Amino acid sequence: MQNLSFGIITPSYTPDYERCCLLHQSIRSFVSSPYTHYIVVAQSDFQLFKGLANETTKVLVVESILPRWIKREPIFKKVWISLKGLPIRNWLLQQIVKIATAQFIPEELIIFADSDVAFVKPYNLSNLLQQDQLRLYCDPIGNPMQKQMHQKWHESAAKLLDVEVDPQIPDFIGQVMTWRRSNVISLCKRIEEVTGKSWINAIANTWHFSEYVLYGVYVTQILKASARHYLDAQTICHDYWDPRPLSTEEIREFIKTIKPHQFAIMISAKAGISIQQYQSMLKEVSQELS
């Protein structure tokens, strides 16, 4: 099979700049196989992030990816203005940006890595492929701890795609997620056919939404084998979502529980860990795994 290039997409903004720098450096240190890392920021954040651009990293501006009828609201910073509908909330806009960027870049193989993520050991991205099949995270038994919220996301996806809700509510949510560009393009066409609206407007008018659930439902219920994905229930990123800060001892325990197949970690910025502490932890993890 030909050596395909990956597009790694990281939406970010000023408060996450230091963490994004750590992710950027970890990708350069540990990731092999052809890739381009796309850091996507609002125009107002571009000056801060542009220094990260190099031969394998491009800094993209949100406003150049989205249609011109979506604009940043300078006064109310938690929303973007849509000239074709209601204001778009920031958290929803970020998910729209992911879908739009996946269509904007040329690479067929897409990886999403949030600013909170860091790679911690050498990894060849081609390991995410089985022949021409790209990994797609899917736990068929779902997430029992958050099933109620996940069900709402599944219901929204089913409505946008005109399919039935899978009663199992499989889990498609995680870190270091992988998509195919061609599938994203056909996904957006499907939404427009079903809703009679632009895919952006259709999603912007959806209250409970997850981009990963939407893509997962589209792949598993509509495209199926033609999606060129294989399903994998293992998590490849060792993560910590709890906003409760970790003690030094708890961080060490967290490091010890990294599984052999996991090559990245994520501790939510909401956990209140300083960038210095996080950087020290990443160094310790990398040394332990090397």
Digit-coded pLDDT (tens) for 34-75? 999 999 999 999 999 999 999 999 999 999 999 999 988 776
pLDDT at 17 > cutoff 70:
yes
Give yes or no for a contact between 240 and 268, defined as CB atoms under 8 angstroms apart. yes
| pLDDT category of residue 230 using cuts at 50, 70 and 90 | very high
pLDDT at 216 > cutoff 90:
yes
Give the residue numbers spanning the domain of 158: 6-289
CA distances from 62 to 31, 94, 270, 276 (A): 25, 9, 24, 29
Cα separation, 180 vs 167, whole angstroms: 26
- Count CB-CB contacts under 10 A for residue 20: 25
For the chain, the residue count is 290
Residue 284 domain flag: yes
Residue scoring higher pLDDT (183 or 257) = 183
Give yes or no for a contact between 136 and 36, defined as CB atoms under 8 angstroms apart. no
Residue 109 domain flag: yes
Taking only the tens place, the pLDDT of each residue in 132-167 is 999 999 999 998 878 889 999 999 999 999 999 999
Look at the chain and report how many structural domains it folds into.
1
Q: What CATH code is carried by the domain that includes residue 213?
A: 3.90.550.10
80: left (phi over 0), alpha (psi -120 to 50) or beta: beta
CA distances from 30 to 24, 194, 247 (A): 10, 42, 27
Residue 171 domain flag: yes
Cα separation, 201 vs 150, whole angstroms: 22
What does the mean pLDDT of the chain come to? Answer: 92
Residue 1 domain flag: no
Place of tokens 């870190």: 175
This prediction has a pTM of: 0.95
Give yes or no for a contact between 60 and 100, defined as CB atoms under 8 angstroms apart. no
Q: Report the pLDDT value the prediction gives residue 3, as an integer from 0 to 100.
A: 54
Residue 107 domain flag: yes
Taking only the tens place, the pLDDT of each residue in 74-129 is 766 778 988 888 889 899 999 999 999 999 999 999 999 999 999 999 999 999 99
Residue 245 domain flag: yes
CA distances from 109 to 92, 116, 152, 196 (A): 23, 21, 28, 28
